[in-house]
Amino acid sequence: MLVVTLALAAVGFALLVVALMTGSVVWAWGCIVVCVAGAVLLLVSALAGKKAATVPGQPASGVPGERGPARDADTTPGSDEGD
């Protein structure tokens, strides 16, 4: 989704340049619409990423120094469970 947001930002900038060069309000409103759509998409993406990172029972997502859920002492390799 970040790539789509960046593409919308580039399109919005291009529309802004066109609006300034032509002096047309229609192009300026197009720029505003595209930029608002990009901002909404970025917000949705950020909220979805935050929600996915806080799911309980999931290991940490690539953060150095953090560990996933602890293993039970009974399931260590070499334990004598069935004897």
Overall number of domains in the chain: 1
pLDDT tens digits, one per residue of 48-81: 888 877 666 655 555 565 555 555 555 556 655 5
pTM of the model: 0.58
Question: Can you say how many angstroms the Cα of residue 2 is from the centroid of all Cα atoms in its chain?
Answer: 6
In eight-state DSSP terms, residue 81 is S
pLDDT of residue 50: 82
Mean pLDDT of the chain: 80
pLDDT of residue 71: 57
In a domain? residue 42: yes
In a domain? residue 68: no
Q: Which of 31, 34, 5 lies closest to 17, judged by CA? A: 31
Domain enclosing residue 7, as ranges:
1-52
Task: State yes or no: pLDDT of 22 exceeds 70.
Answer: yes
Task: State yes or no: pLDDT of 25 exceeds 80.
Answer: yes
In a domain? residue 11: yes
In a domain? residue 70: no
